Every structure is written in C-alpha cells, then in structure tokens.
Amino acid sequence: MTSYALRRLIIAAPTLFMIVTLSFFMMHLAPGGPFDAEASLEPEVIANLEAAYDLDKPIIVQYGFYLGKVARGDFGPSIIYIDRTVTELLVIGLPVSIKLGLSAMILALAVGGSLGVIAALRRNSLTDYAVMGVAMTGIAVPSFVMAPLMSLLFGVVLKILPVASLEPRGGLAEALPMLAPITPYILPVVALALPQIAILARLTRGAMIETLRQNYIRTARAKGLGQRNVVWTHALKSASLPVISYLGPAAASILTGSVVIEQIFQLPGMGRFFIQGAINRDYPLVLGIVVVYALAVILLNLIVDLMYGLLDPKVKVE
C-alpha cells in the first residue's frame, strides 16, 4: 500500500503542474491589473511597482520566475496586503478553512448517512418520502442561497447565533456558555454541509437498499440475527463503499463551496482571501491558494482510495 501511495503522489505531480500552469496564464490573461485602481499614482510610480513584482517582464519570463519560487516553497509577497507574504496569509486563513471544511464533512457524513439508513430501512414509507423530499430540496437549493437566509433568520431576526464574526455572541452563547466557542461556526458549517447531507442521504439509501437484498444478508437473518446486528455489523460496511468513493468529490465541493461561504459570513479563511485576491488581481495570493486547494484535493482523493482498499478486500491497491 505504501508503494501504491508513492506512485499516486508521483502521478499527481504532473496534475499539479498543469493546474498551476493553467491558473497562472488564466489569471494573467484576464483583463485588468493589480494597479489599475490606483488612478492617482503617476505612471512612473506604477512602472516601479510593476518592476518590483516582475510584472513588467514578458509573461513567459514571469511564469519561469514563479515556477522557480513555488519549487522552493515560496509563493511570493501579496500585492494588496502590504508587507505580508502569501505564506503568512495562508497560515492565517488555512486553520479557519480546515476547521470549517472538516466540520462540514463530519456533519454531512453523520447526518446524511443516518438519514439514508433510516430511509432505506423504511423504504416507500412516509419517513422515506420525507427524507428524500428534504434531500431533493437540499440538492436543488445551493448553499449561497441558504447561507443568507439562515443568517437573516437565526442571526438578525431571532438573534440566536452570531453573523459575520468569530466572536461568540447571541442567545445560544448566553444560554449555553459551554457551546460559546463553536457558535460562530454553526451557521457556516450547516450552510456548507446541507447540499452534501442531501447527496449522501440519497447515496446511502440506494446503497443500503441494494445491500439488504444480498444473499449473505438473508443468510444472516435466517440464522436469527437481530435487525440492528444485521444492519450495523453486516450491511453498513458494504453500503458505505459508494459513500467512501464519493468523499473525494465531496471534499472538493466543500473546498470550493467554502470560498463563497467564508465571504458571506466574513470569515478570515482562505476563501475570503481568494475572492479579495481575484477582485484586486493579486496574482501571487490567488495562485498560492489554488496550489493549496489542488494539493488538498489530490491528498483527499488518495486517502479515499486507500480507505476503499481497506474496506473492500476485493480491491487490490497494489
């Protein structure tokens, strides 16, 4: 398995190279520049600024300089955040984004998986129809629509949870002080997890229904095993394989979704830095975040493949 993981990492290197290359040229070929808004500056000052960031050189030369810096782990200085390097901004934003994304993934797995199992065990019942109806709504309504509605309801109208702040405040923090540290993350985590909860619920339901029809499940029931033992000991492991396979795309979706969610809730994560950098043409900042996101997606997909091999003995990773 170790050799398989190493081969996957080696194969991922060209993928990462292509992502960096495409992102670099797309960013630089977009209309506008980082100093276009500085109308009050003299042309000589703008020329000096462009020279300081190597923007006065041909784009292919800039590309060569950037690849050399990235190979050394240097993403360069930020253009819009004065006296800050991209690495420093990543150190600030990465913990917030990791906490948000990991919490959303855990919530989606726990709630979506549980709802899918319940719907499968009560197939074609009112419970099944209700769960699938809620799941379809969650898939149809994107997170950037749910997030402002949740902020308006729970933050402005009911004043239960904080909005656009990492400071614990609101009715829930005052009523339950032990939950105060997590209250700023409740709304963004739920908004980010809702679409994935819906998808995982439908995926788990379909996989569980198919698994419960297998012969070994009938054999387990014929031997007198109870429903709980059959479901949790025998059926759930096989039914979880399609869910595990989906975790790679789900992680990528949560990472990209966090860009919008962090901006809506004004969280100081990488998503907010990415949007600010794209608007202001901060090339080093945007490209640095793209590299980190690409690495995260590649590593998460590798972890998912390794988990699949461990859960299913028929799958050989070597």
Token couple for 263: 């901006």
Q: What is the per-residue pLDDT for 76?
A: 86
The CATH number of residue 91's host domain is 1.10.3720.10
Give the largest CA-CA distance in the chain: 86
Q: For residue 38, name the pLDDT band (cuts at 50, 70, 90).
A: low
Q: How many CA atoms lie within 13 A of 264 on its CB side?
A: 22
Kindly report, residue by residue over 108-147, the tens digit of the pLDDT. 999 998 898 899 888 888 988 888 888 888 778 888 888 8
- Does residue 304 fall inside a structural domain? yes
Task: Tell me the C-alpha distance between 212 and 301, whole Å.
Answer: 28
Residue percentage of the chain with pLDDT more than 70: 95
Task: Tell me the C-alpha distance between 84 and 86, whole Å.
Answer: 7
How much is the average pLDDT of 180-208?
88
* Sign of the dihedral through C-alpha 226, 230, 232, 234: positive
- Does residue 58 fall inside a structural domain? no
What range defines the domain where residue 284 resides? 86-311
How much is the average pLDDT of 208-218?
86
- Does residue 223 fall inside a structural domain? yes
- Does residue 54 fall inside a structural domain? no
- Does residue 111 fall inside a structural domain? yes
Give yes or no for a contact between 63 and 25, defined as CB atoms under 8 angstroms apart. yes
- Does residue 63 fall inside a structural domain? no
- Does residue 7 fall inside a structural domain? no
Q: For residue 37, name the pLDDT band (cuts at 50, 70, 90).
A: low
- Does residue 71 fall inside a structural domain? no
pTM for the whole thing? 0.81
Q: What is the per-residue pLDDT for 39?
A: 59
Q: What is the per-residue pLDDT for 155?
A: 83
Residue 317 has pLDDT above 60, yes or no: no
Buried b (16+ CB within 10 A) or exposed e, 234-246: bbbebbbbbbbbb
Q: How many domains does the chain have?
A: 1
